[in-house]
Amino acid sequence: LPEPVLKKAAEQMLDYNGTGMCVMEMSHRSPEYEEIIKSAESSLRKLMNIPARYKVLFLQGGASSQFAMVPMNLIGKTGTADYIHTGTWSSKALSEAKKYGTVSVVASSEDKNFTYIPEADLGIFTKDASYVHITTNNTIEGTVYTKLPQTGEIPLVADMSSDILSREYDVTKFGIIYAGAQKNIGPAGLTVVIVREDLMGRQLPQTPAMFTYAIHAEHGSLYNTPPTYSVYIAKLVFEWLLDFGGVRAIEETNRKKAAMLYDFLDESRLFKAPVVKKDRSIMNIPFTLETDEQNKKFLKEVEKRGMVNLKGHRSVGGMRASIYNAMPVEGVKTLVNHMKQFEMENK
Amino acid sequence: LPEPVLKKAAEQMLDYNGTGMCVMEMSHRSPEYEEIIKSAESSLRKLMNIPARYKVLFLQGGASSQFAMVPMNLIGKTGTADYIHTGTWSSKALSEAKKYGTVSVVASSEDKNFTYIPEADLGIFTKDASYVHITTNNTIEGTVYTKLPQTGEIPLVADMSSDILSREYDVTKFGIIYAGAQKNIGPAGLTVVIVREDLMGRQLPQTPAMFTYAIHAEHGSLYNTPPTYSVYIAKLVFEWLLDFGGVRAIEETNRKKAAMLYDFLDESRLFKAPVVKKDRSIMNIPFTLETDEQNKKFLKEVEKRGMVNLKGHRSVGGMRASIYNAMPVEGVKTLVNHMKQFEMENK
């Protein structure tokens, strides 16, 4: 999280804007709280240029809940849906969808351990698919779609958990965008869902009320008590990002940060980047040394220097730098310097 | 929320225990965060004297999610469940359950606008009911069970959202206890579920992974990213309550606070308490004046004095004092004094 956001949150902990209350203590039906949630929505709409025909929902349960919520709300139309399989998270999404209808994996990069994004032309999609599901940025594998699949009339549904607000996306290309907030927005326990109005109201009969987009939309995300404090922190992050210059400005910074790492990786004789160049994520950058022993040694050394969370996922191994919006350029510089030093010392 | 909790949260916003990080920034797989969630669980187990054969889950989605999650996980055994209907929240719970099986309303206090708790002897329950559902404290109507229904071998499931940790309960009398955290625990966006181990694994085939108790239990509430900051605030509240002397001590204080209000209401010629004496909640105390005009006048006057959230729910009308654990005795005294003054001025 950006430091100015945390400072403001600390300042307002015992008194939000002269109310004498912490946001956590406010009724979600109070005018003060309604102002917070409306302002959060309006800032997000501005940041992502979200058209009025899309609803913005602030929900709970993370992307893992959306893995079921998407099919429960959409697959009923035809009973079938298409998934593009690009890693751990798309795997979870499609397993969950199978409970509710026929799921076709129309493209996959499993053959090369998910180190690329497969081609997806209009021709590959099932004719009566209710939707096509993609994971725009693959957190664990470090890949990203640089070109969106052309799905024609079939709504494109995207899990954008790890790259929402990190780069510009044209919202009108999607039927639904969803994202767990804990990467680029901040607080865990909040899920942002952007859903095209005409896709609501198609839920299966056994869909829980809390898993029904139409119900949350009808109540402006206040069907039940929302995660009030997380929405407030998200609002602060959105405002910080607007001050920063918006998504275009942060994307530029993110590309610079990522380039620093990739440039070094491509020159290094010791470190390797497994992902093909054209599909490289600017958020999650996996890299490896030649042996597991070297990986362990490197991780141990950087941890001593206070750099945590650099271990790669067990399915990929090695290291992974997650350089979300809030990571300052300095942080990436420091990491690259450590890598250079390690290379020097371990030639 | 108790003020010491907010102060500690503000202090630790930029640096939790020397980690240099806010809890919101921690990975939920980090040792620091695991210590937080384990410590929260252990404090709650101590406070409620929870036996080892019950799992404690920290989930998302509030009681509204539990309304579906309970039947999706339990009703499959026989296809049928019994509900006791005592107000707005039990109504929502039983409507949701009807999606998943046959629901019998075996007792109800609807005949008298939910101003009492109906008798519930073993004889009234459906022989093959998978469970019996109650709402221990009815937030809107201001009633509470002073004697639990005797359900024999049928598991008793309780929505304890508005009185968990306010009074002593014998956990072993229940199959499942669930509670949205926003009343007595603190942060919205966290749901506490206490579930007897033998009741897990019975979920219906279409149950989302995120709605499956067994999955959350297997992963120690870390199946996906939990609402990390809310769990941390809950931990602080649990510690505050342990310091206070535990549930027995807070119950004593809560009974004193409630008695101050009820004593005045029973003596007043202007104010009335609609709930029958034996079933009165010590958390939520509805009261009315003789006319709607008087109610409005009273609400306007107390609001001027900074007392907010006193308006009764539209289904009950009048006023409602919600005096959760964190409400100090002084707060109740101030309210009673205002009521006395209003009575003097409006004889």
B125: which 2 tokens? Answer: 């329950």
DSSP A124: G
Q: Decide if B63 contacts B178 (C-beta within 8 A).
A: yes
Question: Pick the catalytic residue: A82, A163, A183, A279?
Answer: A183
d(CA B228, CA B36): 9
Nearest of B45, B121, B114, B44 to residue B85 by alpha carbon: B114
Cβ-defined contact of B210 to A68 (cutoff 8 Å)? yes
Nearest C-alpha neighbor of A202 from the set A93, A72, A66: A72
The mean pLDDT value for A91-117 works out to 97
Across the interface, of B13, B63, B65, the residue whose CB is closest to A6 is B13
User: Which has the closest alpha carbon to A28: A20, A18, A38?
Assistant: A38
Gap between the Cα atoms of B224 and A61, Å rounded: 9
CA A207, CA B206: separation in Å to the nearest integer? 9
- Give the whole-angstrom CA distance, residue B38 versus residue A14: 27
Is residue A289 within 8 angstroms of chain B, CB to CB? no
The size of the A-B interface in CB pairs under 8 A is: 166
The alpha-carbon gap from B346 to the nearest alpha carbon of chain A, in Å, equals: 29
User: Tokens for A174?
Assistant: 């999607």
Q: Is A292 a catalytic residue?
A: no
Cβ contact A287:A319 at 8 Å: yes
ipTM: 0.94
Q: What is the DSSP string of B259-323?
A: HHHHHHHHH-SS-B--S-GGGB-SSEEEEB-SSHHHHHHHHHHHHHTT--S-BPPTTT-SEEEE-
Question: pLDDT tens digits for A125-141?
Answer: 999 999 999 999 999 99
Q: How confident is the model at residue A187 (pLDDT cuts 50, 70, 90)?
A: confident
Q: Which residues of A91-105 are buried (b: 16+ CB within 10 A; e: fewer)?
A: bbbbebbebbbbbee
H/E segment holding residue A84? strand A80-85
Query: Chain A residues with CB inside 8 Å of B306's CB?
Result: 20
User: Cα separation of B165 and B253, whole Å?
Assistant: 12
Query: DSSP H helical segments within chain B, as ranges?
Result: 3-11, 31-48, 62-74, 88-97, 213-218, 228-244, 246-267, 292-304, 329-345
Report how far residue B176's alpha carbon sits from residue B178's, in angstroms, rounded to the nearest whole number: 7
**pLDDT at site B173:** 98
pLDDT in tens, A331-342: 999 999 999 999
| Catalytic residue (choose from B55, B82, B89, B257) | B89
Catalytic residue among B55, B183, B235, B257: B183
**Residues within 8 A of B (CB atoms), A 133-192 only:** 180, 182, 186-190
Considering only residues 91 to 120 of chain A, which have any Cβ-Cβ distance to chain B shorter than 8 Å?
A: 96, 99-100
Q: Is the pLDDT of residue A66 over 90?
A: yes
Asked if B90 contacts B161 with a C-beta cutoff of 8 angstroms, the reply is no
- A19/B contact by beta carbon, under 8 A: no
Given an 8 Å threshold on Cβ–Cβ distance, is B188 in contact with A229? yes
- The DSSP H or E segment spanning B79 is none
Q: Name the least confident of A105-109, A240-244, B28-32, B72-76.
A: B28-32
SS3 letters across B176-199: EEEEECCCCCCCCCCEEEEEEHHH
Q: How far apart are CA B308 and CA B342, in angstroms?
A: 17
Strands B132-135 and B156-159: parallel
Residue A312 per-residue DSSP state = P
Average pLDDT, chain A: 95
Active site residue A89: yes
Q: In chain A, pLDDT over 70 holds for what percent of residues?
A: 100
Q: Decide which of A306 and A70 is more confident.
A: A70
Whole-number pLDDT of residue A121: 85
Coil, helix or strand at residue B107: strand
User: What pLDDT sits at residue A122?
Assistant: 85
Closest CA to A1 of A335, A248, A283, A327: A327
Q: Of the candidates A10, A180, A209, which has its C-beta nearest B14's C-beta?
A: A10
Contact B64 A209 (CB under 8 A): yes
d(CA B205, CA B75): 12
Q: How confident is the model at residue A307 (pLDDT cuts 50, 70, 90)?
A: confident
Residues of chain B predicted below pLDDT 70: none
Of A159, A235, A257, A279, which one is the catalytic site residue?
A159
Residue A134 pairs in a beta bridge with A158
Rounded Cα–Cα distance for residues A269 and A254 (Å) = 25
Alpha-carbon gap, residue B309 to B319, rounded angstroms? 9
CB contact under 8 A, A30 and B309: yes
Catalytic residue among B55, B82, B159, B163: B159
Rounded to whole angstroms, the Cα distance separating A210 from B68 reads: 8
What pLDDT sits at residue A305?
86
Closest by Cα among A240, A211, A171, A190 to A75 = A211
Backbone angles phi, psi at B251, to 5 degrees: -60, -40
Mean per-residue pLDDT, A223-233: 93
* Exposure letters B8-31 (e unless 16+ CB within 10 A, then b): bbbebbbebeeeebbbbbbbbebe
Is A186 a residue whose pLDDT tops 90? Answer: no
Spell out which residues of chain B touch residue A62, defining contact as CB-CB under 8 Å: 60, 210, 224-225
Helix A329-345 × helix A246-267 angle, to 10°: 0
Give residue for tokens 């795997």. Answer: A91
- Tell me if chain A has a CB within 8 Å of the CB of B24: yes
pLDDT at B101: 98
pLDDT digits (tens, 9 = 90+) for A190-209: 999 999 999 999 999 999 99
Structure confidence at residue B305 (pLDDT): 86
Cα–Cα distance measured from residue A88 to residue A67, given in angstroms and rounded to the nearest whole number: 12
Is the pLDDT at A90 greater than 90? The verdict is yes
Q: Return the amino acid letter for A134.
A: I
Sorted by sequence, the CB contacts under 8 Å of residue B272 that are 6+ apart come out as B265, B287, B288, B289, B290
d(C-alpha B71, C-alpha B78), whole Å? 11
Q: Are A9 and A3 a contacting pair, CB within 8 Å?
A: no
Contacts with A, B 204-223, CB within 8 Å: 205-206, 208-211, 223
Q: Which residue on chain B is closest to A324 by alpha carbon?
A: B25
**Counting every residue, how long is chain A?**
347
Helix (H) or strand (E) segment spanning residue A332: helix A329-345
